[in-house]
Chains A and B, each alone.
Chain A
Amino acid sequence: MKRGMITLSLGLMVISALLIAGCALPTAAPTPVTETAADFYKKNTVTVIVGTAAGGGTDYGTRVFSTFWNQYTGGTMAVENRGAGGGIGASNYVYKERPADGLTIGVHDSGNLVNAVLGKLAGVEFDLTRMQYIGRFSPQSPHVIVASPRSPYKSVADLQKAKGLKIGVGGLSSGFAPGLMMTINALDLKDAKFVVGYKGSSDTKLALTRGEIDVTATDLGDYDLDREKGIVGPALVVLTWERVTEPKSLKDVPALPEVASLTAEQRGFLDRQTKYRAGGKVLWLRPEVAADKVKFLRESFDKIAADENFIKMLKIREAYLGPSMSGEQTTAYIRGILTQDPAPWERLMALGKEYAAR
């Protein structure tokens, strides 16, 4: 009896394992020679792998995008989150492990991916120059350096006079880190401590609201809402070349070059920072996907990105919403960044480690 039960249990474990393996295998129906890409996507489910945990801006935008997929293609789209390793795990998974049948799309903030590559983070197995980009639906807005609502700092001059200033960020590889490192360097904040390790932007903002840290960075598009909620204090400087005109609440906030005499190296940092922030949330395929499928996905993306209702839904969460970019434009943009000299980026990361060690 016991042997029988053990045998049965083992048998069911094997069956479960096979079922699981089956789930992990590609599920696309074989493509007949005459089938078009449109027909292919109508009858197969596309899975979008988001390189962040559920709940963030990238995840929100992707899910909104997925709700329009059926309307424009007749097919279905599923969204899956893999927030491991700041998106590196998800990107490796799509790039190397998923089949090249065009049914798996990766989504991530291009700035984070570029940061991972240029910052030479461990574990990167993807090649940004070989990824096939479908498009970008939401550019990242520039960063604004903000003070805690509990701090006495109202201007850059206040920061420069401050003792024991605490500047907080999620991690050295977070999207906000380069801008903050650059600010510390450009404003020569010798006494500033770079507090790293918060679990993301929500955690960092909460620390700012509590007064645990004095300064952090936020997206320009989030500033008005965060200020209204009392989460952030006054904006001190915007990380752009010139003053911004939108939102109106920031029109009197200086741009970085206005408050710091930037050296050539620092101008290089700002140049990287502004280009890096323009990347936004990109959708991409692994290199081997067939050209006709890439073309269909790009065309579908362009239609959805131009849909007024889609834009309206994105704006609920992102007040500042720049234009989308097509697949070709995104490809040119990403490759353009990567052809630049990575030395300033490496130098910035080294500075960040130095500031964190103070």
Chain B
Amino acid sequence: MLEQLAQGYLGMFHNLSTLGFWWWLLAGIVVGLILGVIPGIGGMTFIPLFLPFALYLEPLDALTFIIALSSTTSAGGAITAVLAGVPGESANIATMIDGYPMTKKGQGSRALGAALGGSSFGSILAGLAAAAMIPLVLPMIMAVRSADMVFVVMVGLTFIAALSSGSTLKGLISAGMGVLVAFVGYDFGTLTERFMFGSNYLYDGIPTIPVALGLMALPPMIDLAMGGGTIARVREEVTELRQVWEGYKDVFRHWKLSVRCSLIGYIIGIIPGIGSGTAIWVTYAHAKQSSKTPEKFGTGMVEGVIAPQCAADAKEAGSLLTTMALGLPGSAMYAIILMGFYMVNVVPGPSMLTEHLDLTLTLEYVIILASIIGEIGICFTLAPQMAKLAYVPARIMVPIVISLVFLGAYASNSRIEDVLTMVIFAGLGLAMIRLGYNRAAFIIGFILGGELEHYLRLGIATGGAFFFMRPISIGLIALGIAVLAYEPIKGILAKRRAKLA
């Protein structure tokens, strides 16, 4: 094994010494960042367009470009999430919850620095972990079953309680509404239509991107349009560059949180079937619960930016390893990337961890290098300029952003109905804000609700009534109970301390 690893690393260094590698790495980084910024268009849209060209490239060059692109889109999406309140990717929704309020407080540069710093930290740590944990990957993937996934998703849902500031009941109602909306569509397991009202548009359910853009991105823009001014209400005395640097330093100030969230994201990435939705919300809620001032989350807390970005990017390193090790895609994005592998005549499977370890290591290091060059290098240089967008007057900013959101909703699936869906959910979002309901809780319920039903059905079918009697499931149930009990127990202990004092 050690000899294989040594040979793998030698091969990797050889790959890294070619000019073509660096050229395609840079190209992937730049394209990935640009795609991430544009809402509705990401790696999943672009990579299939690139694949025919991949046939004419060296396999390493083509795969380097694809992996570099896919690993930087989340960082690109964080830019618009933080500065304009428009998540460029669905993985950036949680980043927006505290990132955008930071921008409104005149701390946009710091939020950017924290987001990009968190992305690069997560990528680098997970990339190194992936390279080190190669022998453990297959046993980890094999250990988790559908029954366990039920409780992974339920842990994600229990964090709704942590997210609800103010009324927990309203948070649960929001989440419940999200779960109900997730059930719309044709159920292929039982061949039944659910709330489709005879519409083919709803065959695959209500699509995620228009819901996210409508619910989360449009209401702040409408709010800005009504209120006028600029996104940032306050102008900081400190220069943007200094603020960006502070944001990067925040990642290390909260290094324990950064490490934990990166590892959570990485582990979630390794296990196929769990989407980035679970990773970002679990880590966001964890950041809130572990904070000394949880009540301030949602108003512009830097930990709320760092946590989900670390997880979103770390997840990529995990998904790559699973895809290469098993030849089965670790996520929807990696289903497309897997096709790229085939097109350049590279067939993923267990041999990628033995005979072709050099390629596996090279691609894991592509993720690390993309972070260093893209997220730290390029963005650190450009972030101060980008942060000035927060001071562009609303009369210029709002129409442009709203147009981008409309185009993004259409671009995601090229369906005009998606634009209408987005508008409907924008209306819902405005109503929820007015009535004090948590939109983030709705999104969690929407994203995780369908997953819960899916895995619950499989868990019961494969494990019977006592499907949860497995070590991993029991551990996750205990974690979920701990999450739910955390706030009440904390309250009781605080009261006791106050009495004793």
Contacts and interface: CB of A to CB of B under 8 A. Distances in A.
16 contacts: A2-B226, A19-B407, A21-B416, A54-B47, A55-B339, A60-B343, A81-B48, A85-B203, A122-B193, A172-B188, A172-B191, A199-B273, A206-B272, A213-B462, A316-B347, A356-B190
Given A123-B200, A202-B335, A210 B403 contact: no
A232 B350 CA distance: 13
Contacts of B400: 12
A322 interface: no
Contact of B189 (A24, A121, A196, A316): A196
A281 interface: no
B306 interface: no
Interface in B435-493: 454, 457-458, 461-462
A33 B89 CA distance: 47
Contact of B145 (A19, A212, A230): A212
A231 B403 contact: no
A12 to B, nearest CB: 4
Contacts of A171: 188-189, 191
B462 A195 contact: yes
A20 B403 CA distance: 11
B188 A60 contact: no
A162 interface: no
Interface string A1-36: 110111011011101110111011000000000000
A279 B225 CA distance: 56
B342 A316 contact: yes
Q: Is the interface of B mostly helix, strand, loop or mixed?
A: helix
Given A205-B328, A316-B342, A1 B454 contact: no
A53 B190 CA distance: 21
B186 interface: yes
Interface string B321-350: 000001111001001111100110101011
A1 B228 contact: yes
Interface in A112-152: 119, 121-123, 125
A317 interface: yes
A5 B339 contact: no
Nearest to A93: B200
Interface stretch (B101-109, B362-370, B391-399): B391-399
A214 B164 CA distance: 42
Contacts of B329: 55, 202
A119 to B, nearest CB: 8
Contact of A82 (B186, B193, B273, B413): B413
A231 B461 contact: no
A350 B395 CA distance: 61
Contacts of B44: 54
B223 interface: no
B454 A230 contact: no
Contacts of A24: 414, 416
Nearest to B322: A206
B228 A207 contact: no
Given A196-B189, A229-B326, 16 more contacts: A4-B395, A9-B398, A11-B399, A12-B399, A16-B402, A17-B406, A20-B406, A55-B332, A63-B343, A89-B204, A122-B193, A123-B193, A197-B458, A202-B272, A212-B462, A313-B343
Given A5-B398, A60-B343, A193 B406 contact: no
Given A1-B395, A64-B343, A231-B327, A173 B335 contact: no
Nearest to A9: B399
Closest 10 CB pairs of A and B: A55-B335, A85-B203, A171-B188, A84-B204, A197-B189, A229-B349, A12-B399, A16-B406, A67-B52, A195-B461
Nearest to A317: B342
A15 B402 CA distance: 11
